[in-house]
Structure 1
Amino acid sequence: MATAKTRQKILQTFLDLLSEHPYEDVSLPMIAAAAKVKLSDMRSAFASKLQLVAAFTEKIDTAVLDGVDEDMGDQPPRDRLFDVLMTRIDVLAAHKEAVRALHVAARHDPALALDFNRLEVRSQKWMLIAAGIDVSGVKATIVAQGLAVAFARVVGVWLEEDDEGMPRTMARLDKELDKGGSFMKRLNGLERAAKGVRSLLKRISDRPARRRPRADEDDGEPDLSDKAPAGA
C-alpha cells in the first residue's frame, strides 16, 4: 500500500511532467520512473491517469474550501460564487501549464472530455457549497453541469491571459455568471411549473373515484318502462 507521502510525490511528478509534455505522452511507467517509485507502488497509488487527474481536482477543491472567505457570508450569492471561482483560478495558477495540457487534451479527445467533465461537475458542486448556494438532488447536478461548462470557458481565457490582474478572465467570469443567472431563473420557473403539475396530479389521484352504477343497480330513478302505453 502506497503511503500518503508516496501518493503526493507521484501526483506532483505527474503535474510536473504535464507542464512539459502533452497529456497523451505522459504514461504511468514514465511517471513512476520520474518519481523514482516502483511500478507496484504506482499501481497501488494510482491505477490510471484519470485517477491522478481526480486526485488533482480534489487537491484544488480542498485548497479552495480551506480558503473560503467567511466575510463574504452577507454578500449576494452571485458575488460569493464569483469570489469562490476566482479563488479556484488563483489556486490553479501554480499548475497553469499542467492545466493547459489537460485543457488541450480534452479538446482533442471527446471521450476524455467526458471523463474530465464528470470530475469537474463534482468539483463545481463543492464550489456551490462553498458559496453557500443551496441546491440539491437533480437540480444540483444540472446547475453544477452548467457551471462546469462555464468555468471551462473562463479557464480557456485565463490560459491565454498574461496580465496578473486577470481583467479578461474576470470579465469572462462575470459574463458567464450573468448567463448562469438567467439560466437559474428559467430553471426555477420550470421547477415551479413541475411542482404545480405534480400537485395537480396528486389532487386528481387523491380525489374519490366516481363509480358508475351497473345496469342491474337501482340508480334512484323511477322505472317508467312498465308504465309506457302499449304501442308507444
Structure 2
Amino acid sequence: MSAAKSAKPTAPDLREQAVDTLFRLLETHDFKDISLPDVAREAGMRLSELRSAVGSKLEILEAFAARIDGKVLDDLDEDMGDQPARDRLFDVLMSRLDMLSPYRKALKNLKNSMRRDPSLALALNRIALRSHGWMLSAAGIEVPGIKGAILLQGLAISFARVVDVFLDEDDPGLPRTMAALDRELDRGEGWMQRLDGVERMAKPFVDGLCRLAERRQRRRAKRQEEADGEADPGTAEPVAPLT
C-alpha cells in the first residue's frame, strides 16, 4: 500500500469534513437535534477522529465562519483599493454573500434554530463579530477603541438583516439583497456620524475627568512622599516579629 493511501487524514482535513457534514445535516435538521455522533456517523469517521479535529458543534460553526472569511479574503478585488470606504465594504460584503450561497438551505434552518435558542444566538454573534472584524480589515477600515467596537457590533446586526433578505430572494441578480445592504450601510453611516457628534460633545468632559484624575494622582503621590518622610527608620520602635 502506498504512503498516500495509508496516510491518516489531518485534523484540518477532518475539520473541513465536519463542516461539510454538519451543514449537510442542517439542510434537514434543527441544530439542536444534531449530535456530534451524528456528524461522525454521517461523515464516515470515528468519533475519536472527530474529537481530534473539533471540540463541539459550535467549534464546527467557527470553522465554517473561518472558511467563509478565507474565501472572501482570497477574493478581494484589488481594483477597489482607491474607492471610498463605503464602496469597498459593500463589495466585500457582497462577496461574503456569494460565498454563503451554497449553504442557503442550511443557513435558513440555522437561523430558525438561533431564534429559538438565545444561547446559540449569543454564540453566533460572537462568531460574527470575529468575522466582521476581518471584513472591515478587508475593506481597509480600522476604527480603534470603543467606537470601533460599536461599529463592529452594528455591522454584525446590519449584515444579519441583509442575510434575512438574501436567504429569501430567488433572483440570482440579488437586487433586493443589494438594496437592503445599501440601506443598512446608509443607516450605519448615519449612526457613525451621530456617534462622532456625541464624541465631540463629550470630549471636553472626558478631558476634564482625565485632568482631575491626574491631579488626584499627584496629590496621592505627594501625601505618600510626606508619609514616607515622617517615618525615620533610625528612631522607629522595633516591631515584634510575627510568630
Q: Do the structures match in fold with TM over 0.5?
A: yes
% of aligned pairs identical?
51
Does structure 1 retain, via aligned residues, the 8 Å contact 2:88–2:139?
A: yes
Does structure 2 retain, via aligned residues, the 8 Å contact 1:125–1:140?
A: no
Partner of 1:32: 40
Partner of 2:153: 145
1:72 correspondence with 2:80:
yes
More helix as a share of residues: 2
Structure 1 residue 22 displacement after superposition: 2.0
- Alignment of structure 1 residues 219-230 onto 2, 5 Å: none
Structure 1 residue 139 displacement after superposition: 2.1
Q: Structure 2: which amino acid aligns with 1:107?
A: R
| Partner Cα separation in structure 1 for residue 17 and residue 64 of structure 2 | 12
Partner residue of 2:30 out of 13, 22, 26: 22
Partner of 2:189: 181
Q: Which runs of 5 or more residues in structure 2 are unaligned?
A: 1-8, 219-243
Does structure 2 retain, via aligned residues, the 8 Å contact 1:19–1:98?
A: yes
| Partner Cα separation in structure 1 for residue 203 and residue 93 of structure 2 | 31
Structure 1 residue 205 displacement after superposition: 5.5
Q: Deviations over 1:61-81 (max 9, x none)?
A: 111111111111111111111
User: Is the radius of gyration larger for structure 1 or structure 2?
Assistant: 1
Structure 1 residue 109 displacement after superposition: 1.1
1:54 correspondence with 2:70:
no
| Partner Cα separation in structure 1 for residue 172 and residue 189 of structure 2 | 27
After superposition, the Cα gap between the structure-2 partners of 1:207 and 1:28, relative to the gap in structure 1 and judged at 3 Å, is closer
Does structure 1 retain, via aligned residues, the 8 Å contact 2:16–2:63?
A: no
Q: Structure 2: which amino acid aligns with 1:138?
A: I
What number of residue pairs does the alignment pair up? Answer: 209
Q: Deviations over 1:30-88 (max 9, x none)?
A: 10001111111111211211101011011111111111111111111111111110000
Does structure 2 retain, via aligned residues, the 8 Å contact 1:32–1:39?
A: yes
Partner of 2:102: 94
Q: Structure 2: which amino acid aligns with 1:125?
A: G
| Partner Cα separation in structure 1 for residue 28 and residue 210 of structure 2 | 60
Does structure 2 retain, via aligned residues, the 8 Å contact 1:121–1:141?
A: no
Structure 1 residue 207 displacement after superposition: 6.8
Partner of 1:191: 199
| Partner Cα separation in structure 1 for residue 204 and residue 79 of structure 2 | 38
| Partner Cα separation in structure 1 for residue 21 and residue 205 of structure 2 | 54
Partner residue of 1:5 out of 13, 19, 37: 13
TM-score by length of 1: 0.84
| Partner Cα separation in structure 2 for residue 12 and residue 205 of structure 1 | 55
Partner of 1:163: 171
| Partner Cα separation in structure 2 for residue 172 and residue 102 of structure 1 | 21
